[in-house]
Amino acid sequence: MSSPLLRIDGLAKRFPEFELKSVSFGLPAGLLMGLIGPNGAGKTTLLKAILGLVKPDAGMITFQGRDLAREGAALRARIAYVSDEPKFMPGVRLRTLKEVHASFFPAWDEARWKSLMADFGLDPQNKSDTLSLGQRTRFALTLALSRDAELLVLDEPTTGLDPAFRRELLARLAATLDDRRAILFSTHITSDLEVRADLVTLLRDGEVVFSHSQDALRDSWGVVKGGLDLLETDGSNGFQGLRTNAHGFEGLTDDVESARRRYEGRALVERASLEDILVLLGRRRPEGKPHAA
């Protein structure tokens, strides 16, 4: 099997309030990976580490087999990034911002940029400080998609975009994928990923909980819904996440077949959606005690 386009091995970064703990996963070419996790899970820190904006304390990030820490400046010519809140120098026309940006990328595709600007409803004569968040994100995407980048790193790119445009954007992103390109896409909107993502990586408390294909997730993760009498005395039942209320509980399991056997006839066991996983994992306390609903 060929090596992944992007590989992260044992990445660690400690801040006073937060820690990224030995994060490892790979992203092969041709695939779109969704990066999900609750607020503060470490998604943005991870993406910034890939871009060299955050200096890791340990671990290695390789792109096309080359160390990004050593060759980041050269390799960033092939990596495009859109931050969760794109900012541009105020008072500058979009055309000027594009010209400045394009001057750093020999493979710049001017025709594609013009086409994207028209499709995204942006006027190159507009000034950057007249744009809304959604328009800034659209403009950042025109820059990212016109560089012939081989890796697109997108931090919450659909935030601030209307649903119709979100759908169109996801289709466009998927269309850019080929055997030398990949997309790493962080989002809170799990429905976006369920439609388009090939792989999903979940971060929680700075750790990778899983990094699998959507098919593998559907085959293994499930939600158990039952009465409170089924919960063990410590209230955890080995669930990855648990939500209780006066009538019963919802427990998240990473072994849906075992759960089916265990709770057969006593509880409802369903396959988990990404949203189920994200919501219920966020409900788990470190000591395994359930939250009261």
Partner 1 sequence: MLLELLRRDLRLHWGSLVVPILILGMGLGAVVMADEGTRLTGLILETSFLIPMLPVIIHQRESAKGTLGDLLVLPVSRAAVVRLRYAEVLFFTGGLLLLAHAAVWVELSVAARHPIPMSVMSRDQFLGVGVLLIFWFAYPMPLFLGWGMKGLVVGYGSLITLVVTLAMTETDLHRFIDASMARPVAMALVLAGLFTLSYLLSLKFFSRRDF
DSSP 159-199: TT--HHHHHHHHHHHHHH--TT-EEEEE-S-HHHHHHH-SE
Strand order, beta sheet including 6-14:
19-27, 6-14, 58-63, 66-67
DSSP-assigned letters across all residues of 116-161 = HHHHTT--TTSBGGG--HHHHHHHHHHHHHTS--SEEEEESTTTT-
CA distance 222 to 1: 30
In angstroms, the first-to-last Cα distance of the chain is 46
Is 88 one of the binding residues for partner 1 (CB under 8 A)? yes
**Does 26 engage in binding with partner 1 (CB under 8 A)?**
no
CB of 106 to partner 1, least distance (A): 10
Residue 92 engages partner 1 in binding (rule: CB under 8 A): yes
Per CB under 8 A, 98 contacts partner 1: no
Least distance between partner 1 and beta carbon 261 (Å): 48
Selection from 149, 278, 140 nearest residue 221 by Cα: 278
Binding partner 1 (rule: CB under 8 A), the pick from 103, 125, 132, 233 is: 103
Encoded amino acid at 119, one letter:
D
Residue 249 C-beta: closest distance to partner 1, Å: 41
Q: Which is nearer to partner 1, 75 or 173 (CB)?
A: 75
Judged by CB under 8 A, which of 22, 96, 159, 176 binds partner 1?
A: 96
Which pair of structure tokens corresponds to residue 96?
């000027």
If binding is defined by CB under 8 A, does position 16 make contact with partner 1?
no
Q: Which of residues 105-164 bind partner 1 (CB under 8 A)?
A: 105
53 binds partner 1 (CB under 8 A): yes
- Least distance in Å: CB of 250 to partner 1? 38
Which span (82-90, 161-169, 237-245, 251-259) binds partner 1, by CB under 8 A?
82-90
Q: Does 265 bind partner 1 (CB under 8 A)?
A: no
Length of the chain as a residue count: 293
Would you count residue 72 as binding partner 1 (CB under 8 A)?
yes
Nearest CA to 144 out of 197, 195, 97, 90 is that of 97
Question: Is 55 a binder of partner 1 (CB under 8 A)?
Answer: yes
Question: Which DSSP symbol is given to 273?
Answer: P
CA 199 to chain centroid: 10
Which residue type, as a one-letter code, is found at position 271? R
Minimum CB distance to partner 1, residue 57 (Å)? 11
Interface residues with partner 1 (CB under 8 A) are 48, 51-55, 72-77, 79, 81, 83, 85-92, 96-97, 99-101, 103-105
